[in-house]
Chain A
């Protein structure tokens, strides 16, 4: 009987044990709480959608039909095409072979009746030359290769290019940007998706958004990914084939809700937006062997490729509401915890029947 009274009179939670309880609670609840709030703020994100709709692109576009303005039509421009491999190409293919001069340029400029003929129409869709689906991939600059003799096996692990205003003009100014996805596709070779040609590539990537007169810029880094270098073609309308893969690499710039708010406060006119994109620390399994032939890296510096740009939007007013509301509740909880940690107010201990 005496023993039972002694147990009943014991405080349920005292001194050091309550301190541990409080510290553990903070260490566990705070990261989960902030994760919940930030995720709630991001809950109204839309799905990725191509920036071009079928009627946005026309075969008789003045830019396409005027060779003098062809450069203005570019959406992607190389700033750093990788390592200078000129001497390697020349030593492999012959000293006098000038087809692989570093940073020399090759872009298809074939025209028929004044209009660029590398685009063609099939049904109601516009295709880029060699394209096997209708995602409106965009021409990119590439190495010069008048007498192409084959890829040497390596072109560096650090590439930089510019996505210019021509691309961002297709964004909806009335919506708030929350993600940009660039998918580079090389349609030259299509094989079965389980072919060993497709392997995992690890890389880091970053982006800098810039306005027209370069007075405003925002840098976003810390992106990294490991992905299989394949792009699945469900149905090839032009070649009447289905279910195969081509080479690709995809950069998904999925901005946090905070970043989306900052971007849309700074850049409210997407027509003047451009971006500097860098892909680096590329770990490419084939390139470890320096094997001559086709590469598993889509931009090898010696071939052209196409770029698909997808965008997703978020309602930053709703995001702001969820973020601010959630943050206010978390802040309130922290203030209450701070006050209840003083000797003046101990609601938790009193409730638990702890020390008086």
Chain B
């Protein structure tokens, strides 16, 4: 079951990066968004393949350093709450979503 889960997760990552990559190539995205930098910070997702997540990383970095104002902190809070909840559920119940 775990191997199926891993396969599905890898598939979803590939699918979403392909979608965002295709959007970037067709001019849907501002070319700056496909760069690995937001506000001059060092990137984690720096390969061309991970361009979709590069933008997500830039977005999270911009939210965390205050570029998006209160809405950014609200977003970071929501993401943190979700990850903490899922981690807590995994530890306590053995599943992410209870």
A residues contacting B by CB (< 8 A) are 15-16, 18-20, 22-24, 26-28, 30-32, 34-35, 37-39, 42, 45, 179, 218-223, 252, 254-259, 261-262, 320, 323-325, 327-328, 330-335, 337-343
Contacts and interface: CB of A to CB of B under 8 A. Distances in A.
A338 B32 CA distance: 31
Interface of A, secondary structure class, is helix
Of B43, B71, B72, which is in contact with the most chain A CB atoms at under 10 Å from its CB? B71
B97 interface: yes
B90 to A, nearest CB: 9
B1 A35 contact: no
Interface in B38-97: 38-40, 43, 46, 52-53, 55-56, 58-59, 62-63, 67-72, 74-79, 81-82, 84-86, 89, 95-97
Interface of B, secondary structure class, is helix
29 contacts: A15-B95, A16-B95, A19-B96, A19-B97, A22-B97, A23-B96, A24-B12, A27-B9, A27-B12, A28-B15, A31-B17, A32-B20, A32-B52, A34-B55, A42-B30, A222-B36, A222-B46, A256-B58, A258-B68, A259-B38, A327-B74, A328-B71, A330-B78, A331-B71, A333-B78, A335-B82, A338-B82, A341-B85, A341-B86
A32 B35 CA distance: 16
Given A32-B19, A343-B98, A332 B43 contact: no
Of B15, B56, B59, B79, which is in contact with the most chain A CB atoms at under 10 Å from its CB? B59
A259 B32 contact: yes
A142 B50 CA distance: 40
B37 A38 contact: no
Contacts of B16: 27-28, 31-32
